[in-house]
Structure 1
Amino acid sequence: MKPTIPSNLKLPRPTVKRSSLVMISLWGASIIVILITYPLAKKIPQLHTELNATRADLAKIKETSAQVRQLSGQLNELTLKEQALTRAIPDSGNAPVIFEQIQKVATDSAVSLNSLNYTGETGQNKITSTSTEGSVGLGIVVSGTFERLTKFLETIENASPILTPENLNLATSEGGEVSMSIPLTADFLIVPPLSGDKLIQIDLSLLNSPQTDAATQNALGRQEYKFNVDTKSGIGKRDPFVR
């Protein structure tokens, strides 16, 4: 005999737990995320390599920038030292004391000094990077008796300026006076004051050393001129150029 089920009896419906739905949703979302990010994940090694290359380029740029700043500083320092040397070289606006000494010799010799000009624009008054000597050109015109001019020439020849006899230009005038044009070259040295004849050696090739830079700068600040020969008239005895 078969069992009978009461008509008013309701069987429970099959149910799915909520936790299972959450798990299924999470798994689905994970799969979607993986599908989306997988192509990007494949590029990670390439992106890492590119990042390292960019960092290397940035390091090179920083190194180059530092070198440029260093070279710029050295260039500025060289420019300042070049300007210092250029200002130190005598020019037409920086007449040497030798002018006054020549005037004194002319007075002592009783000749008339008609003209005394600076002719240093000939290019002789140059100082190279390792040289501490140069020369300036002077042009004078004097007049007087032959005997007095002879005395004047002897004094000048024995003094600092070096006479160039082959370029003398003589002209006679009334009364027995002689007018004479004389080109002179006055050699000079750069010397430290009150230190005898010891020269300051300025070597621009050593400026990369801070110690050398400081020493050179100090030397430039102490420099003055004197004429490079012994004299009998007093010309050139540690006579600096007026600066």
Structure 2
Amino acid sequence: MLVEPTLIWSRTTPVSVIGNQGRWKCLTGDGVLHCRLPITDTLPLRAAPKVHAKERVSTASRRRRSACASEPTHQELTMTSVFLRATSATAMSLAVTLMPALTLSADLSQARAGIQSTVDKANALFHRSASAEEIAAALFEDDLMVTGEGEKGSYRNLKSFMGSLAAHTAAGPRCTLAIVDPIRSSGDLAVAFLAEHCTAAKAGEPEEDTRVMFAFRNGAHGWRVTMASFSIGKY
């Protein structure tokens, strides 16, 4: 975290700041982080004028010299300006670095909401015993590919999968899909685990649980499944 730079003027430490950037060397004392730029990294500071031992200095003159000694030199101001520019650049760099992460977080949130909406529509269709065609239109892309436990091969498009989907929904409104976090997304593609729980098709038969992985694509009709894989069991 950047700390607002505070200049500290003294004879032993011509230029000191509180901060943590660039070539500034930092020491911790009394719970405060003190940083200073090594003099070897800068032009030499202006040497203090020598005063002859026998020179008589009036009280007013001493006061004027004391006031001047407390003011930053041109070299000190120059180094301060360099530090402030470096600090601003670092802040900008930090913002640019964080921007992709913030964008990614926003994209993931939108993907999560879109996928949840698609799953909710599919569940509503399952629960009212909708036809396989209605479910397919709400959930799957035309280029759907499916592979799963117990299948002899893979389905290479939605049309080839329709017979299996019709058989799966023929027993009535007994299955529900639920997203298992987290969702991974990038742009218009996202991958999610889902758990499908189906009540017994007939009295005395066991309930069924299936682990599903869906690859979603965000298109003209929202987030739809373009690839799927499933296996029997719970997460």
Q: Tell me the TM-score range normalised by the shorter chain.
A: 0.3 to 0.5
Larger Rg: 1
**TM-score, normalised on structure 1?**
0.39
Q: Whose helix fraction is larger, Structure 1's or Structure 2's? A: 1
Q: Whose strand fraction is larger, Structure 1's or Structure 2's? A: 2
